Amino acid sequence: MIHLGLDLGHESERAAEHWLYDLVQQLGRPAGAVACTHLTHRPVPHVAASLAVPRGAVAAELLAALPPVAPELREAAEHAAAAHAAGRGGRATVFPGVERLTGTLPVAELLDVSAIERVTVIGGAPAGPDTLVDTRDHVRPQWRDGVLTLVTTPAPGGRIAPFEVPNPTPCCADHV
């Protein structure tokens, strides 16, 4: 795999996520590609990105044409790439099988059809292979201890759902 640190100084995960999605499309959706966002404070709070593609999956000239990282954002981009390569950081937005994670499906199927390797439950019993996951059509696993992990929470009907909701209320939204 080739791990690249990318950084255009996006102010939100949503903006970085859309940019990554478009970038992967431009690269021809290489099989095995994993694109992640990374919250960083280097040098100011923003969202950096990383992209991992199998060697030879993308032509060298396409990779060379990726947007340059501004000098002040290089440290954050390098940190994002290193964290992704080590499997210790990054929130995956593009990964093998993501398109199949819609609706509700058992944990065993989620693990079988996608690159997600582990499902954890915050505040609930451990998930079994038959536990149903209401994906909310928004699944964003994270690299933890070298394992692509989906963090979930209990949901109605004995199901679980990704901890991250698709349209979160912005922080301080009720303080206006």
Distances in Å between the alpha carbon of 141 and those of 59, 64, 74, 96? Answer: 27, 28, 25, 12
The answer on pLDDT for 129 being more than 70 is: yes
Instruction: Measure CA 72 to chain center.
Output: 24
Confidence of residue 168 (pLDDT cuts 50, 70, 90): low
Render pLDDT for 21-73 as a digit per residue (tens, 0 to 9): 999 999 999 999 999 999 999 999 999 999 999 988 887 888 888 999 999 99
- Distance in Å from the first CA to the final CA of the chain: 46
Amino acid 4: pLDDT: 94
Amino acid 173: pLDDT: 56
Closest CA to 15 of 7, 4, 3: 7
What's the whole-number mean pLDDT along residues 118-137? 95
Amino acid 58: pLDDT: 83
Render pLDDT for 77-115 as a digit per residue (tens, 0 to 9): 999 999 999 999 999 999 999 999 999 999 999 999 999
pTM confidence score? 0.90
111, 120 in Cβ contact below 8 A? no
Q: How far apart are CA 123 and CA 25, in angstroms?
A: 37
Quote the tokens at residue 144: 């933890």
